Amino acid sequence: MKLPVPAERLRERYPSLTDDDLLAYTEVTRRLLGEERKGRVLSEIMAAAQRARDKESAGGTPDEAEALALRYLRAMEKMQG
């Protein structure tokens, strides 16, 4: 599935993005593009990212899905300034 913005182009525009950031962007974006209810899925991803942040703040470890959501959110934050 083709991404709306290729990872290489994002790297050029946002040099602070790491390989891990781009991997999270690619994985989550491809998932979103394959969903009929994109809004609902994106809401679930953002909720998972918040849970991951809360767990990390409390000294815990997020599960795999939460960690991916948080990596995606952090990549998006870098792209938003």
In a domain, 67, yes or no: yes
CB distance 72 to 14 below 8 Å: no
Burial 17-52 (b: 16+ CB within 10 A, else e): beeebbebbbebbebbeeeeeeeeeeeebeebbebb
Residue 1 lies in a domain: no
Q: For the segment 29-77, what is each residue's pLDDT rounded down to a tens digit?
A: 999 999 999 999 999 999 999 999 999 999 999 999 999 999 999 999 9
The pTM assigned to this predicted structure is 0.91
67, 63, 34, 81 alpha-carbon torsion, rounded to 10°: -20
**Is residue 29 a part of any domain in this protein?**
yes
> How many domains are there within the chain?
1
Examine the pLDDT at 1 and tell me if it is beyond 80.
no
Q: Is residue 2 part of a domain?
A: no
The domain in which residue 65 lies consists of 7-80
Mean pLDDT of 17-30: 96
The Cα–Cα gap between 9 and 69 comes to: 22
Tell me, yes or no, whether 55 lies in a domain: yes
